[in-house]
Amino acid sequence: MLRYVASRIVMQVAVLIASTILIFFLLHLAPGNPATLLNGGHPPSPATLKYFNRLYGFDRPLPVQYLIWLRHLVQGNLGTSVATRTSVASVIIPRIGLTLFLTIYAVAIMVMIGVPLGIVSAVFRSGPSDFLASVGTLTFTAIPTYVTGVVMAVVFGVELQWFPALGGGDIGSFWTRLDHLTLPAVALGLSSLALASRITRSAVIGELEKPHITGARARGFSGPRVVAKHAVRGSLVPVVTIVGAQIGYLLGGAVVIEYAFGLNGLGSLLVSSVQGKDYAVVQAIALFITAEFLLISLVVDLLYGLIDPRVRLVGRTA
């Protein structure tokens, strides 16, 4: 197990380093001069250029520039936001909480609705409930999240007044935040419902066809018990995998949802920074979200090893 864990960590760190290289070189691929890009599209003054040279080493060869940039990155120095003229870290850190909250909330909704729906569909396979579930979840996948968001804001926020239609409940307790983020999280979670329920459905069906289920049935265990204790447990691996992978999509989707609901998270900051050509902030947010995604993938891979012992053996032979 230790070896499996170590190999996964090494792997993810390697990918993380590769992604920093990618983000670093994107800055140099951009049309024009990187210093101009970082300066919001305007040619920098001599003083600004001097600052950029110190922070990024633009007067040095490219590989050296990357190492300088990486060193500052590790130290938490991500440059200066053109929009606020303060350090990028001070702009980003206050907004991390909301985005994390929103993403976790959406994942919880996706799992709590999608997995039971998938199990029910598998058990009553090809019945009317299966059909309704698949068409219903497919429709939610097809509706862009921001449209679901707008419709829910109008219906549940303005007409029925069950939940706040706008804002993230930035000042207030955990419950205020939960209240404010319910509509955005539901809009986000519903978009991934189809994937969660379909994967659960096919995994459970695959499991139900296996001999150990027939064996359990033959020994006289009741239908619900067979499903709950034997089929669902065996189908956990793909379900955990899909949830982990889907978090990446939800992190991307959160950008759009935050923008639609006017939430002060990383996503809406990303959009306004792209529109305002605040490149240092864009870079930093991209790195942060990517690191977060890699961390989640790592956790999922490790869970995978816990659930299914065979996975660990694969790690040994590789």
Partner 1 sequence: MSTVAGDVLAFEHETSSRAAGGRLEGLFQRIVVVVSGVTLFVIVCCALFAPWLAPHSPNAVHLYHPYSPPSRGFLFGRDSAGRDILSRVIFGARLSLLGPSIVVGIAFVAGVPLGFLAAYRGGFTDGLISRVFDVVFAFPPLLLAVVIVATFGASFQTAVVAVAITYIPLMGRVVRSAALVERSKSYVEECRLQGYGAWRILFAHMMPNIARVLISQTTLYFAYGLLDLSALSFLGLGAQPPQIDWGGMLENANQGVFQSPTGVVFPALAIVLLVVSLNFMADWALDYEGRKAGQR
Contacts of partner 1 in 154-183 (CB under 8 A): 154, 158
Residue with structure tokens 């970082």? 38
In this complex, which beta carbon is closest to partner 1, that of residue 182 or of residue 197? 197
284 lines the binding site for partner 1 (CB under 8 A):
no
For residue 84, report the phi and psi dihedrals to the nearest 5 degrees: -105, -15
297 lines the binding site for partner 1 (CB under 8 A):
yes
CB of 128 to partner 1, least distance (A): 11
Assign 184 to helix, strand or coil.
helix
Contacts of partner 1 in 16-45 (CB under 8 A): 16, 18-19, 22-23, 26-27, 29-31, 37
In this complex, which beta carbon is closest to partner 1, that of residue 35 or of residue 178? 35
Do residues 188 and 144 make contact, with C-beta atoms less than 8 angstroms apart?
A: no
CA distance 317 to 294: 23
Residue with structure tokens 């003054």? 45
CA distance 117 to 260: 28
Contacts of partner 1 in 46-85 (CB under 8 A): none
Contacts of partner 1 in 79-98 (CB under 8 A): none
In this complex, which beta carbon is closest to partner 1, that of residue 176 or of residue 277? 277
CB of 77 to partner 1, least distance (A): 20
282 lines the binding site for partner 1 (CB under 8 A):
yes
Stretch that binds partner 1, among 63-71, 72-80, 106-114, 278-286 (CB under 8 A): 278-286
Sign (positive or negative) of CA dihedral 75, 76, 77, 79: positive
Contacts of partner 1 in 201-220 (CB under 8 A): 201-203, 205-206
DSSP assigned state of 44? P
CB of 51 to partner 1, least distance (A): 21
CA-wise closest residue to 81 among 105, 107, 55: 55
CA distance 187 to 239: 21
Helices first, then strands: H and E counts in the chain: 16, 0
CB of 67 to partner 1, least distance (A): 19
Partners of 87 in beta bridges: 80
198 lines the binding site for partner 1 (CB under 8 A):
yes
Contacts of partner 1 in 218-257 (CB under 8 A): 238, 241-242, 244-245, 248-249, 251-253, 255-256
Which residues are within 8 A (CB) of 122 and not within 5 positions of it... i.e. 6 or more apart? 200, 201, 202, 204, 205, 208, 231
CB of 79 to partner 1, least distance (A): 14
- How many residues does this entry show for the chain? 318
CB of 47 to partner 1, least distance (A): 25
Which H or E run contains 80?
A: none
CB of 267 to partner 1, least distance (A): 9
In this complex, which beta carbon is closest to partner 1, that of residue 11 or of residue 73? 11
Contact pick of 96, 138, 236, 307 for partner 1 (by CB under 8 A): 138
